[in-house]
Amino acid sequence: MSRKTIIAGNWKMYKTNVEALQLANQVKIKTKDIRHTGIIICPPFTALAAVAEVVNDSAIAVGGQTMCVEKEGAFTGAISAGMIKSTGAIHVILGHSERRQYFGETDELVNKKIKTALEFGLKPIVCIGETLEQREGNITAEVVTKQLRGALADLEPQHVDRLIVAYEPIWAIGTGKTATPEQAQEVHSVIRGAITEWFGETTADNLVIQYGGSVKPENAESLLSQPDIDGALVGGACLKADSFSAIIHTAEGLKR
């Protein structure tokens, strides 16, 4: 297995430019000893270029939190894949549950965005996950598989090789409730199984599947120790350099 553990931080709509630069600098200092774990930070668009410059001489990669499906045009306020790429960012989070919930993003739109992102050389972090109602109705595997199938429609294995998938149960995002390591592992294994079936074993073996949903320094080790959990997408705990770097150091300690 050649998968690297990758820890990504989603800053959401937090941090002015001054605050963003401070946080990026602190993360850079606190993770300079990291050798085996991938690190991605996803600041707001306004700080992307400045943060990308600050971490340019480190192993930290930068990503956007969403992007417009259109390549360019009269779409006031929208940000394109090419614009994100031009800041020095190389990743983009797509299909985050907050985008689905508040901005009406569908699997079909996520699929189109993935294709555009790949065309511009960005590596998408594709988010999927079930609601509490769906989990309680025992349809988690079905829901997640359907989201994944929709998001990855018409893609070839070489496209999937450039993605990260993040399993983020909606009921665990920003709520302080975390899926147990066993619950998360079960879904990650369903995801890897589906990828094996659709894109082949090599692509599935190499795919980084992150868990997201109230990951903190206290629960990182038990989650990241699971065989199919290859990293974390972190919200709240990435807004402080101490907690974000503690999660990264935990991953590094468990290196595969």
Among 55, 212, 244, 251, binds ligand PEP (CB under 6 A): 212
Number of chain residues interacting with ligand PEP (CB under 6 A): 13
Cβ-proximal residues to 3 (8 Å cutoff; 6+ apart), any chain: 205, 206, 207, 208, 230, 256
Q: Rounded to whole angstroms, how far apart are CA atoms 43 and 115? A: 22
DSSP for 133-173 reads: HHHHTT-HHHHHHHHHHHHTTT--HHHHTT-EEEE--GGGS
| 210 binds ligand PEP per the rule CB under 6 A | no
Q: Pick the piece of the chain touching ligand PEP (CB under 6 A) from 21-29, 132-140, 218-226, 229-237.
A: 229-237
| 236 binds ligand PEP per the rule CB under 6 A | yes
Least separation in angstroms between residue 126's CB and ligand PEP is 12
Nearer to ligand PEP, 203 or 215 (CB): 215
Q: Rounded to whole angstroms, how far apart are CA atoms 223 and 29? A: 25
Catalytic residue among 168, 188, 249, 252: 168
Nearer to ligand PEP, 10 or 31 (CB): 10
Q: Pick the piece of the chain touching ligand PEP (CB under 6 A) from 29-37, 65-73, 104-112, 209-217.
A: 209-217
| 129 binds ligand PEP per the rule CB under 6 A | no
Determine contact, residues 19/12, Cβ cutoff 8 Å: no
Q: Determine the angle formed by the axes of helices 17-30 and 45-54, rounding to 10 degrees.
A: 40
The structure tokens listed for 153 are 């429609």
Among 62, 67, 215, 224, binds ligand PEP (CB under 6 A): 215
The size of the chain, in residues, is 256
| 234 binds ligand PEP per the rule CB under 6 A | yes
By CB under 6 A, what part of segment 139-178 binds ligand PEP? 168, 173-174
DSSP for 58-113 reads: SSEEEEES---SSSSSS-TT---HHHHHHTT--EEEES-HHHHHHH---HHHHHHH
119 is catalytic: no
Q: Pick the piece of the chain touching ligand PEP (CB under 6 A) from 57-65, 104-112, 190-198, 234-242.
A: 234-242
| 233 binds ligand PEP per the rule CB under 6 A | yes
Distances from the Cα of 135 to the Cα of 36, 132, 144, angstroms: 34, 5, 10
Least separation in angstroms between residue 9's CB and ligand PEP is 9
Catalytic residue among 91, 96, 188, 249: 96
- Residue 253's CB: how many other CB atoms inside 10 A? 12
168 is catalytic: yes
Q: Which residues are catalytic?
A: 96, 168
Binding stretches for ligand PEP (CB under 6 A):
10, 168, 173-174, 212-215, 233-237
